Structure 1
Amino acid sequence: MLNDSIRVFLTVVDKKSFSKAAKALFLTQPAVSFQIQTLEEYYSTRLFDRINRHISLTESGKLLLDYSDKMTELQSDLEREMQELTGTVKGRLLVGASTTIGEYLAPQLLGAFKKKYPEVDLILEVGNTEDIESKIHSTNLDIGLVEGPVTGKDIEKEFFIEDHLCVITSVNHPWAKEKSISIFELDKYPLISREKGSGTRKVYEDGLKKAGFPPNNLNISMEFGSTNAIKAAVANDLGISIISKWAAKEKAKLGRIAKMDLQEVELERPFNIIYHKKKFHSQATDGFLKFLKSDEALEILEQ
C-alpha cells in the first residue's frame, strides 16, 4: 500500500486544491495539510507554492511527483505479478455505478463475480455520473459503470451495454395489453417523471423533440427523484412513465406493471465502463473488466 502521505500528496496535485483533495479523500482539510506538512518536514523542503489561494508544485514537489508516479506503478505491478504467481485473484475492488446501473444491474454482476472469485473484496458506490467520474479521476475508484456523458481527458471509456427507454403503465391501464404506442398519444394521460436534470429525462425529452413531439406537451403531473417511487406510483394508477427497460424488467415480469415500446422514436443510450488511463490495474480489476465484456455477464442481465 502507498504511504498515506504520498496518497494525499497525489490527490492534492490532481485536484490542485487542499479543500477539494480533502473532499475526495473524505478527510478534513487540516488532516490533508498535516500529511503534506509531514512530507515537507521529512524532506526538509517545500512541496507547494501557495499564492492567493492557488497552489503550484515547487521543483521539489515535481521531483516527488515523478517518483510517486513510479511508486504507484511499481505497487500495481507487484500486486499483479504476486497474484499471477500464486494463481489467485484477490484483493479489494472499488466499483462505482451511476444510479440506474447501481440499482438494477451492478448487484447482479458483482454477485456473480464474487461467486467466481470469492477472495476479492468488492465495494460498490452508487452516485450520479459526475460523482463517479470524479472518483475515477482521483483514483478513489477502480472501475465505473455510468449512463451519462464522460468528459475527463484521463478517463478511458468503453461501451458496456445498450439501454432502452420504455413506457410503463399500471396493469389496469388501457395501454396495458399494447406492445407499442405512438409518441403522439403520450399527452393523453398524466406522466410521472424524473426530476429536471435527470439523465433519463434528458434522453426522452431530446428524443421526443427530434421526432416532432414537443416535450412541453407532456402532461407531467408528478416528479420524483427515485425510479422505484415512480414505479410504485404507476402501479397504483397515478399515471404513466418513461424509464429504463432494466428498471422496468422485474416488476413487469412479476405482472405489477405493464411496459411497451414507443413508436416513431428509439430512446436508447449507452452504458459505459470507465477507468483511469494511468492507473495500473490489479488482477482483480483486469478480471472484472474481462467479466463485464463476456457473454456470461450479458446472460446474467438478460435472465
Structure 2
Amino acid sequence: MIDLKLLTFITVAKIKNFTRAARILNITQPAVSQHIRALEQYYNVKLLHKDGKEMKVTQEGKLLLKYALELERISKMIKIELNNKSSIINRYFVGATLTIGGYVLPEIIGKYRRLHENTDIILYVENTQSIIKRLFSGDISLGVVEGPFNKSKVKYKKFKDDELVLALSPDHDLANEKSVTIEDVLKNKLILREEGSGTRKFFENKLIEAGYNLEDMNIYMEIGNITALISLVEANIGCTIISKEAIKGSLESNKLKVIPIDNFKIIREFNFIYLDHIHETFINDFIRFCNKN
C-alpha cells in the first residue's frame, strides 16, 4: 500500500488545491498540509509553491511525482497479484481502443476464457489517450491500441495490421465510382471519430504527411460511438474513414460499400502496450494467444 503522505502529494499535484484534495482523500486540510510538510522535510526540498489560487509543483516536486506515480501503479499491480494468489479465479484488467475492443478482442477473449477457466479478463474500452492513462495509473496490465503512442515510454509488440477505408452508403453519390481521389473525400460530408481516438489521429497524420491541411476536411459530425457512426453512414448522412474490421457486418449485409482512394492507402498497426511489472506471465501468454487467433 502506497504511503498516505505520497498519496496526498499525488492528489494535490493533480488537483492543485489543498481543500479539494482533503475532500477527495477524506482527511482535513491541516492533515494535507502536514503530509506535504513532512515530505518536504524528509527530502529537504520544496515540492509545491503557490501561484495565485493554485498550488504548482516545483521541479523537485515533478521528480518525486514521477516516482510516486510509479509506486502507486506498482502498488495496484501487487494488490491484484496477491488477490489472484488467494482466489480460485485470477482476474486481469486489459484496456483496448474502441475498434479493437468492440470488434476484434471480444471473440478472442471468449476463446481464451474457454481455455483458461480460472482466468477472468476485465476489458476497458476507451480511446487511445484514456487507455495510455489507465496503463500508467496501474488500472490495467495491458493495453491494445490503434493510435500513435510514445514508443520510448512503454514496451510494445505488434498485434496485426489494420486498414482504414472510405466507407459509404450504396446510395451515396460516390457509391458507383471505381475509385476516388483524396480531394473527393475531403470535400464530402465526413463523419469522423472524436479527437483523441486512434483512428482519427492516424488519418490526420496521414493527411499531414501527404501535404494536406487538416482544415481541408469537411467534418460534418464527430462521433465517439462507433456503432452510432456506422449507423449514420448507413443512413447516407455522410461518409467516413474507418477500420475495415469495424464494418465487416455492414459490408456483408450490403449496408455499406468501400471505395478505394487513389494513391492513398491507409495501413496502420494494432499494438500491445505494457510496462514492467509482475503480470508478465499473463501478458506474454495473452499476447501469444491473440497472435494465433
**What residue in structure 2 maps to residue 136 of structure 1?**
135
State whether residues 248 and 259 of structure 1, in contact with CA within 8 Å, keep that contact through their aligned partners in structure 2: no
**What residue in structure 1 maps to residue 226 of structure 2?**
227
Give the whole-Å Cα distance in 1 for the aligned partners of 2:245 and 2:275: 27
Aligned-pair CA distance for 1:215:
5.0
Report the CA distance shift for 1:134/1:11 in structure 2 as closer, same or farther (over 3 A).
Answer: farther
Aligned-pair CA distance for 1:101:
1.7
Matches within 5 A, 1:28-67: 32=25, 46=38, 49=41, 51-52=48-49, 53=55, 54=57
Report the CA distance shift for 1:207/1:110 in structure 2 as closer, same or farther (over 3 A).
Answer: same
Aligned-pair identity in percent equals: 29
State whether residues 129 and 147 of structure 1, in contact with CA within 8 Å, keep that contact through their aligned partners in structure 2: yes
Alignment root-mean-square deviation, CA: 4.4
Aligned-pair CA distance for 1:275:
0.9
Report the CA distance shift for 1:51/1:219 in structure 2 as closer, same or farther (over 3 A).
Answer: closer
**What residue in structure 1 maps to residue 121 of structure 2?**
122
Matches within 5 A, 1:82-231: 90-151=89-150, 154-173=153-172, 175-176=174-175, 180-186=179-185, 189-196=188-195, 198-211=197-210, 216-231=215-230
State whether residues 18 and 33 of structure 1, in contact with CA within 8 Å, keep that contact through their aligned partners in structure 2: no
**What residue in structure 1 maps to residue 44 of structure 2?**
none
**What residue in structure 2 maps to residue 300 of structure 1?**
none
Matched, 1:236 2:229: no
**What residue in structure 2 maps to residue 61 of structure 1?**
none
State whether residues 145 and 272 of structure 1, in contact with CA within 8 Å, keep that contact through their aligned partners in structure 2: yes
Give the AA of the match of 2:285: G
Aligned-pair CA distance for 1:114:
1.1
Give the whole-Å Cα distance in 2 for the aligned partners of 1:291 and 1:175: 40
Give the whole-Å Cα distance in 2 for the aligned partners of 1:200 and 1:147: 7
TM-score by length of 1: 0.68
Give the whole-Å Cα distance in 2 for the aligned partners of 1:119 and 1:11: 33
State whether residues 187 and 216 of structure 2, in contact with CA within 8 Å, keep that contact through their aligned partners in structure 1: no
Gaps of 5+ in 2: 16-20, 42-46, 50-54, 62-67
**What residue in structure 1 maps to residue 254 of structure 2?**
255
Give the AA of the match of 2:94: V
Give the whole-Å Cα distance in 1 for the aligned partners of 2:77 and 2:227: 42
State whether residues 168 and 240 of structure 2, in contact with CA within 8 Å, keep that contact through their aligned partners in structure 1: yes
Aligned-pair CA distance for 1:203:
2.6
> SS of the residue aligned with 2:261?
strand
Give the whole-Å Cα distance in 2 for the aligned partners of 1:74 and 1:123: 17
Alignment partner of 2:11 out of 18, 30, 34: 18
Give the whole-Å Cα distance in 2 for the aligned partners of 1:168 and 1:121: 35
Gaps of 5+ in 1: 23-27, 58-63, 84-88, 297-303
Give the whole-Å Cα distance in 1 for the aligned partners of 2:203 and 2:287: 30
Alignment partner of 2:284 out of 283, 286, 290: 286
The count of corresponding residues between Structure 1 and Structure 2 is 268
Aligned-pair CA distance for 1:242:
1.2
Give the AA of the match of 2:233: V
Q: Which string of whole-angstrom CA distances, capped at 9 and with x for unpartnered residues, describes residues 64-84 of structure 1? A: 99x99999999899899x79x
Report the CA distance shift for 1:21/1:179 in structure 2 as closer, same or farther (over 3 A).
Answer: same
Give the whole-Å Cα distance in 2 for the aligned partners of 1:148 and 1:190: 23
Give the whole-Å Cα distance in 1 for the aligned partners of 2:265 and 2:7: 42
Give the whole-Å Cα distance in 2 for the aligned partners of 1:75 and 1:232: 42
Report the CA distance shift for 1:285/1:172 in structure 2 as closer, same or farther (over 3 A).
Answer: same
Matched, 1:295 2:288: no
TM-score by length of 2: 0.70
Aligned-pair CA distance for 1:174:
5.1
Matched, 1:267 2:256: no
State whether residues 143 and 274 of structure 1, in contact with CA within 8 Å, keep that contact through their aligned partners in structure 2: yes
Q: Which string of whole-angstrom CA distances, capped at 9 and with x for unpartnered residues, describes residues 147-195 of structure 1? A: 2222375521221122211011112335446564332432564332334
Q: Which string of whole-angstrom CA distances, capped at 9 and with x for unpartnered residues, describes residues 99-120 of structure 1? A: 2222222222222211111211
> SS of the residue aligned with 2:221?
strand
